[in-house]
Chain A
Amino acid sequence: MTSIGTGYDLSASTYSPDGRIFQVEYANKAVENSGTAIGLRVKDGVVLAVEKLIHSKLLVSESNRRIQTIDKHVGLATAGLLADGRHLSNRARDEAASYREHYRSAPTLQFLVDRVGLYVQAYTLYSSVRPFGCSTILGAVDETGPALFIVEPSGVSYGYHGAAVGKGRQLAKTELEKLKFSELSLREAVMEAARIIYLVHDDAKEKDFELEMTWVGSETNGVHLPVPQDLFNEAARKAKEALENFE
């Protein structure tokens, strides 16, 4: 890292001479060290899946969730610093509640993403704060249909058909690009999501992981819920089988 020692990386409020903000790039590094999170947007819904790395056998299973519920119809998956992700999801919940208070209707995901993006960006402006060390994938089914976005540490947000952040994002993206999102059913998307998470997990390097999966769409009546246990088990089983055939 050539930037180290130059003094331009000490604050998020300082540009380097070539126009970069190193603190934001370091925040992206924090995201790259984290377990992969993906999202799939298909015609009748959205699936979120996370590879949650287990750093200790002493942890209670299914603790430290990385997929949160923001509103009835909105889910948020994070990669990066867990606590930063939780802070952002709290903010997103407040935004959603405030929208409902003002307009007496469910917020669109575009609205929430804009607000969360604005909030994240504000943390790239001052020397007294540090940018968020997490990328968030937001998924929902709203009045515009299924929607999927990523908000990055810089505050920029983009909409996606298939989204991937974290350690295994490159491989995950390659796999996502092979899918035909306009033809997949929600159930098929669950299978694919599980398969990709199992695929990108590198068990040579990493310890154990837990798969976390939620969905929202026609199957859930437009409500963001964990994938039901039987479907989850089926998806995990098929994912493991696919992994053996893959290699």
Chain B
Amino acid sequence: MFPLTRADSFAQRNDDAFDAYGTYPLHQRAPHKDVFAEGVQHTQQPIVTGTSVLAIQYKDGIMMTADTLASYGSLARFKDVSRLHPVGTSTIVGASGDLSDFQYLQSRLDQLVTDEFTHADAHDLGPAEVHEFLSRVLYGRRSKMDPLWNSVLVGGFRDGKRFLGYVDLLGTTYSAPSIATGYGAYIAIPILREAVDGRQDKLSESDAKAILHDCMRVLFYRDARSIDKYQLATVTADGVHVSDAQPLDTSWGFAEGIRGYGAQTQ
């Protein structure tokens, strides 16, 4: 109620109950709600995924392998996808984890290489530079709480030197004579360290091929997200070469002797 005349206002001066300015109750904001909390979502899990990547150093350079399966959960969704990507003339990049994130990385790397090429200044990117670049991109994204869900191997051969490095969705990096991602880190690494580490300078191309082939077969037996088809990439002084997809030789005769599962009665 607003005082209309001077007399009214005098009259109401002693009316303690009257609150001319509406000071009570205290104004309260609506409870704070982040309107974007549900609008912007960050990657919380990979969707279409690739399994292990293995790579080793050998006499002439580095060799990398990955199978050609892209899984959708436990479904073997795409069976002929390449997870090995050449970058420039002396580097190979292989990825496990989310394949759409890997495709994003592929396009970032292609842009980078083209950009570098158009400078035409006789400099180009080698494996060490590509590895550093990827580590900064992946670490940057994890720091935004929006990681690129991959474990990536970078291998290469330049100026007579081998390079083999790892970087993952957290931006963690390391180098070693033999590296494996995913399931391979548990199953292939013991085999690879036994066969490769300390012997890098002696291993021939066919030795390296045989070692990786063996590991891929063991992984196929044990890893439920794998397939019996894989690619091999080599990087040597002659450049990068990625093979066509090739089948794994496997034998399942032992299955006959297994008792305790399935339909057998005895």
Query: Which A positions have Cβ atoms within 8 angstroms of B?
Result: 65, 68-72, 93, 97, 100-101, 104, 226
Interfacial chain B residues near A226, Cβ < 8 Å = 120
Contact B117 A69 (CB under 8 A): yes
Closest B residue to A223 using CB positions: B117
Interfacial chain B residues near A104, Cβ < 8 Å = 107
Contact A97 B120 (CB under 8 A): no
CA distance A76 to B110 in the complex (A): 21
Is B114 positioned at the interface, with any CB of A under 8 Å from its CB? yes
Is B250 positioned at the interface, with any CB of A under 8 Å from its CB? no
Closest B residue to A89 using CB positions: B118
CA distance A104 to B107 in the complex (A): 8
Interfacial chain A residues near B204, Cβ < 8 Å = none
CA distance A68 to B115 in the complex (A): 12
Interfacial chain B residues near A68, Cβ < 8 Å = 118, 120
Query: Which B positions have Cβ atoms within 8 angstroms of A?
Result: 107, 110-111, 114-115, 117-120
Closest B residue to A214 using CB positions: B120
CA distance A97 to B115 in the complex (A): 8
Which 6 pairs show the lowest CB-CB distances between chains A and B?
A: A69-B118, A69-B120, A93-B118, A72-B114, A72-B117, A70-B118
Contact A97 B107 (CB under 8 A): no
CA distance A226 to B121 in the complex (A): 11
Interfacial chain A residues near B107, Cβ < 8 Å = 104
From residue A3, how far is it (CB to closest CB) to chain B in Å?
40
CA distance A95 to B117 in the complex (A): 16
Contact A100 B111 (CB under 8 A): yes
Contact B111 A97 (CB under 8 A): yes
Interfacial chain B residues near A71, Cβ < 8 Å = 114, 118
Q: Can you sample 17 A-B contacts with CB below 8 Å?
A: A65-B120, A69-B117, A69-B118, A69-B120, A70-B118, A71-B114, A71-B118, A72-B114, A72-B117, A97-B114, A97-B115, A100-B110, A100-B111, A100-B114, A101-B111, A104-B107, A226-B120
Closest B residue to A226 using CB positions: B120
From residue A34, how far is it (CB to closest CB) to chain B in Å?
21
Interfacial chain A residues near B110, Cβ < 8 Å = 100
Interfacial chain B residues near A101, Cβ < 8 Å = 111
From residue B124, how far is it (CB to closest CB) to chain A in Å?
12
Interfacial chain B residues near A72, Cβ < 8 Å = 114, 117
From residue A112, how far is it (CB to closest CB) to chain B in Å?
13
From residue B116, how far is it (CB to closest CB) to chain A in Å?
11
From residue A87, how far is it (CB to closest CB) to chain B in Å?
15
Other A-B pairs, 19, CB within 8 Å; known A72-B114, A97-B114: A68-B118, A68-B120, A69-B117, A69-B118, A69-B119, A69-B120, A70-B118, A71-B114, A71-B118, A72-B117, A93-B118, A97-B111, A97-B115, A100-B110, A100-B111, A100-B114, A101-B111, A104-B107, A226-B120
